[in-house]
Amino acid sequence: QVQLVESGGGVVQPGRSLRLSCAVSGFIFSSYAMHWVRQAPGKGLEWVAVISYEGSDKYYADSVKGRFTISRDNSKNALYLQMNSLRAEDTAVYYCARGDGGNGGGIYWYLDLWGRGTLVTVSS
């Protein structure tokens, strides 16, 4: 059964750090690029970051560049998002999602599988 399960969310003070994880099962994780997408309460979707299947290529939204780092551990079927210098505007549900370019097909693909998300609240 294909599953993407995010964890690590919670309440954190502005300026602090948090690390999100996404545990994947049911497909060959190491063959797919992976994304983080967030959604602030009551707002639309905002793409955050993507990492290539082998981890060598990473791209970020301008709003998080320099503060967030996407990474993966293909031996553990896990995706991560290290979030530093958090701001109130980073408050959102964070989703991990798969890009459908299997067999190392690159990052320029639609998002075909999504987790249920984890809520990050940045507040003092």
Partner 1 sequence: DIVMTQSPDSLAVSLGERATINCKSSQSVLYSSNNKNYLAWYQQKPGQPPNLLIYWASTRESGVPDRFSGSGSGTDFTLTINSLQAEDVAVYYCQQYYSTPFTFGQGTRLEIK
- Per DSSP (E only), the strands in the chain are 3-7, 10-12, 18-25, 34-39, 45-51, 58-60, 68-73, 78-83, 92-99, 111-114, 118-122
Name which of 13 and 63 has its Cβ closer to partner 1: 63
CA–CA separation, 92 and 83 (whole Å) = 12
Rounded distance, CA 73 to CA 61, Å? 22
Question: Whose Cβ is closer to partner 1: residue 89's or residue 100's?
Answer: 100
Residue 115 engages partner 1 in binding (rule: CB under 8 A): yes
Q: What mask, x for binding partner 1 by CB under 8 A, covers residues 39 to 78?
A: -----xxxx--x--------xxxx----------------
Does 95 bind partner 1 (CB under 8 A)? Our answer is yes
Regarding 112 and contact with partner 1 (CB under 8 A), the answer is yes
Per CB under 8 A, does 116 bind partner 1? Answer: yes
**What does the binding site for partner 1 look like in residue numbers (CB under 8 A)?**
35, 37, 44-47, 50, 59-62, 95, 99-100, 107-112, 114-117
